[in-house]
Structure 1
Amino acid sequence: MIKKLRLLKVEDIEILFNWNINEKHYEYYTCRLLNEHKTFEDYRNRMIDLISTKKQMVYILVEEDMVLGKITLFDFNTRNKSAEVGYYLPSPNRGKGLGSFMLKSFIETVFEDDKLNLNKIYATTASNNYPSIKLLEKSGFKLDGRLREHYFIDENRYDQLIYSMLKREWIK
């Protein structure tokens, strides 16, 4: 079975919605405001708006017809030729090397895309999110900085780590 990365299709959105509503600890994976979507239609409309206005590019990792994970490019800055990366694997797909495969495929896709013209991609993660830190470092991202006590989770405070990769650092 061949795994591949492809752009999200409208018919895939329901799978992502179900991941969101079934994730018990979603607050551990982002420091951003949590968007609670009360209905699938609300979530679907928001996703379609973000994609159609080119505020996000959402890729999914698939194997045959099964969606395994997602990775998103957002916060595009054309002046600085940079964008942020966010990724997610549902819990049954973690610890199997899928994140490494997905991120590697993604890096290749976005740095080879002349229309995006990116010089840098970056990602943020909480200082206690050890799997994400390991994935970023294993993939060649460098630690750029730390926002102290930027995550508040269950009355605990964690730093936000900022990682990046420059196009010239990317090894094909």
Structure 2
Amino acid sequence: MFENKIIKLRKLSTNDYSTYHNWRNDIEVMKTTSPQLDIYTLEETEQFISVIASQANAKGYMIEHKESGQTVGIVSLINIDYKNRSAECILDIGARDMWGKGIGTSAMSLILGFAFYELNLHRVYLQVFSFNERAIKLYEKMGFTHDGKFREAIYRDGRWHDTVIMSILKKEYLNKEQSDL
């Protein structure tokens, strides 16, 4: 369930702070995913990871590339609302040398399977910056639809950009999965 041909997911632990710290302080990595571009101390990152790893309404997983054994990113379901069966998905590929190698598609496939089959969620949603065209194409390919946007919500590279809201429902995921067979 938590691996495929390319990657395997393992539960995020408080010991992952040093790996995440390198990505969190890489402006090139964070400019497409984080609203706050800043430099963080190791202690700040350790505290951040401790909070994520201990939240009852979140499931965080480190992404490991099977061939190299390298930890390459993180995928999480956060803000899990068990009553309304909904969660927000976050994906970061922190190892830049692994960009464009199918890691994001593989991770989204695993986390959506987990969300819909194991957690029995009805809806998974995400937020993505409008200039992150590669991520938007990935999410569309996975079956996400555009729900709307927060207009000019992020300021990057001297310009205002929208934050795009996308979601996928369980029935859409199951239909897409059947059509991909």
Other-structure match for 2:167: 164
Match of 1:58 in 2: 60
- Matches of 2:158 and 2:6 in 1, distance apart? 43
Provide the residue aligned with 1:37 in structure 2.
Answer: 40
Gapped runs of 5+ residues in structure 1? none
- Deviation of the 1:43 alpha carbon: 1.4
Name the TM-score, length of structure 1 as normaliser: 0.86
**1:35, distance to aligned residue in structure 2 (A):** 6.4
Q: 1:23 to 1:93 in 2, by over 3 A?
A: farther
Distance 1:29 1:128 in 2: 10
2:61 partner SS: strand
Match status 1:146 vs 2:149? yes
For normalisation by structure 2, the TM-score amounts to: 0.82
Partner of 1:8: 12
Q: Distance in 2 between matches of 1:25 and 1:102?
A: 17
Q: Show the counterpart of 2:111.
A: 106
C-alpha offsets along residues 108-142 of structure 1, whole Å, 9 cap, x if unaligned? 122122xx342111111111110110110011111
Identity %: 28
1:92 paired residue number: 97
Structure 2 spans left out of the alignment, 5+ residues: none
Which ranges of 4 or more aligned residues in structure 1 deviate by more than 6 Å?
Answer: none
1:94 positional shift: 0.7
- Determine the C-alpha separation between the residues in 1 that align with 2:148 and 2:6: 37
Count, aligned residues? 168
CA distance in 1 between counterparts of 2:79 and 2:38 reads 17
Say what the alpha-carbon RMSD is for the aligned residues: 2.1
Q: Which moved more, 1:158-167 or 1:55-64?
A: 55-64
Residue of structure 1 in register with 2:79 after alignment: 75
Measured in 2, the distance between the counterparts of 1:25 and 1:68 equals: 12
Distance change >3 Å, CA 92–CA 148, structure 1 → 2: same
